[in-house]
Chains A and B, each alone.
Chain A
């Protein structure tokens, strides 16, 4: 049995990592809520964010954490043509058409990463990625705390945007009933486009944080996507604060799973939770979104 220091360190690290996981899932969640689209390329958007952070550091020498706004805007801008040229023309053709299109985008991106950046795994090498932080018996990498702080701040900002601004009102209206919202003068297409871009921007930041905390490669998108889906399922569709809670829950449970069963079981715990929640608590996360 591991000692109390290891146990508490693991749980704290899991919770902090969970905050980052929540940010990586946020874009998926709001896009799902507003557009009824399971963005199967979401994981690859995160990978774009990780590469963007990496190359930002390499070319400017500026710390990618300072460059996060640039990365966010960059990835958000990339999402705009994806929406206008690929998704918008499929509006009214049902959810599957858009989802499959994003699946195809995912395939293309993943192979484009290999062609452009090679299949090597990389990481955004910074001191804070490896420096351990010690608080009494608890030790965890500093990047977890930094990432957690940035993630929670950003999630709260998005929560504010959704719940307290005029854009947020339009967004919520479009999520509940797009047709009714359109009748009442909401430009649903614009709301969807901005939501999609916002989701991608969050993915950009989340991807950079993941790239700083862990190694990543061209095919990391699949694992990112599945983790994000698990967070969304745990936390609740389109529910911003729920996503934060879902992320923290997943992070903590994965860490506990890894500690008790062995490290290889971390991701397995996530997938098992995901399917269990689907089986037993489906309404908890789809209260707003039943089609």
Chain B
């Protein structure tokens, strides 16, 4: 498949670049860990949202940028994770990290289960299928009373305090970024790109496109489920319209396209941008989403590599980026 949306970033020198990236990630985790000691609730809220978005965007970027899978079904896995997390916390009394791990497993299993349907056809039908999956799950949750029906379910214990949640989600964002770094800085990235650029040629070279795409989809879905789980733990009350809502899928898609599809910094820049845009237009929710739409159209047309792609083209930053 040849398209600008998922066109190739240049391949950096794999090993040294990878080590630098890991070092930067560890450093960022070390510094941000202490943010709750001096930042107020407002900034912690923003930080929490940014981290959740970053986890989602990392997974989406892996699928779209590396494996050519454009998903509109992120909310399926967020919703699944949210329901699984509150179910585990309420019924079993599981500690949050364990609940999140189970969420990740559930997300990965669901992705694997639906992949035969979604991967049967290439490209666009994956997108359409993911959209239908999210709607199916939402309707299921609305109708089945065991899951709380349209009113949803409530966390019975008190949600953890914001600083605690912030550190959880920070670690989650760190782990997500680290995993994606391992995927994109090793031989796996070559395989992923080969599948994205020409499935048939890749298959002739002995790569199994189905497995590669499945791997990316399962990993991204596990990440989304964990993001959904921690979001639910923070909210303390969830209902199907919100957790399975299309808005999640819109947000994550916007973030990655705005940041730069297939670029390492794309998800981070996109997440920061979308959170900032949301804050700037907090009083005008309709205008906010519509403006995001306009930005999407303009970027797809004139800067298919997003903000990071534009920045890399500037000579000075471009040299540093590599």
Contact = CB atoms under 8 A, between A and B. Distances in A.
A99 B142 CA distance: 29
13 contacts: A90-B301, A94-B4, A97-B4, A99-B124, A106-B293, A264-B143, A265-B139, A268-B136, A268-B139, A278-B129, A278-B132, A282-B121, A282-B125
Contacts of B3: 93-97
Interface in A96-141: 96-97, 99-101, 103-108, 110-112, 114-115
Nearest to A279: B117
B293 to A, nearest CB: 4
A108 B294 contact: yes
B297 A96 contact: no
A78 B125 CA distance: 27
Nearest to A119: B286
Given A115-B286, A222-B246, A268 B129 contact: no
Interface in B56-108: 70, 72
Given A96-B70, A282-B120, 7 more contacts: A96-B5, A97-B3, A107-B290, A222-B135, A226-B135, A233-B128, A278-B125
Nearest to B304: A97
A265 B132 CA distance: 15
Contacts of B131: 225-226, 229
Interface of A: 36, 38, 40, 86, 89-90, 93-97, 99-101, 103-108, 110-112, 114-115, 222, 225-226, 229-230, 233, 262, 264-265, 267-268, 271-272, 274-276, 278-279, 282, 286, 290-291
B8 interface: no
B128 to A, nearest CB: 6
Contact of B287 (A105, A111, A279): A111
Contacts of B124: 36, 38, 95-96, 99
A114 B300 contact: no
B300 A104 contact: yes
B5 A97 contact: yes
B210 to A, nearest CB: 14
A90 B300 contact: yes
Contacts of B5: 93-94, 96-97, 100
Contacts of B118: 278
B6 interface: yes
A129 B3 CA distance: 46
A101 B117 contact: no
Interface string B187-221: 00000000000000000000000000000000000
A278 to B, nearest CB: 5
Contacts of B180: none
A268 B127 CA distance: 19
B136 A272 contact: yes
B176 interface: no
B290 A275 contact: no
Given A94-B2, A107-B293, A262 B128 contact: no
A274 B130 CA distance: 11
Main secondary structure of the interface of B (DSSP, over half): helix
10 smallest CB-CB distances across A and B, nearest first, come from A94-B3, A279-B117, A107-B293, A271-B136, A104-B296, A111-B290, A108-B293, A96-B5, A104-B293, A268-B139
A267 B120 contact: no
A275 B2 contact: no
Interface string B1-17: 11111100000000000
Contact of A275 (B117, B123, B286, B292): B117
B256 to A, nearest CB: 11
Nearest to B257: A100
Interface in B101-154: 114, 116-118, 120-125, 127-129, 131-133, 135-136, 139-140, 142-143
Nearest to B4: A93
B46 interface: no
Contact of B297 (A101, A114, A271): A101
Contacts of B6: 94, 96
A162 B84 CA distance: 50
B300 A97 contact: yes
B66 to A, nearest CB: 14
B250 interface: yes
A97 B70 CA distance: 11
B246 A100 contact: no
A219 B124 CA distance: 23
B65 to A, nearest CB: 11
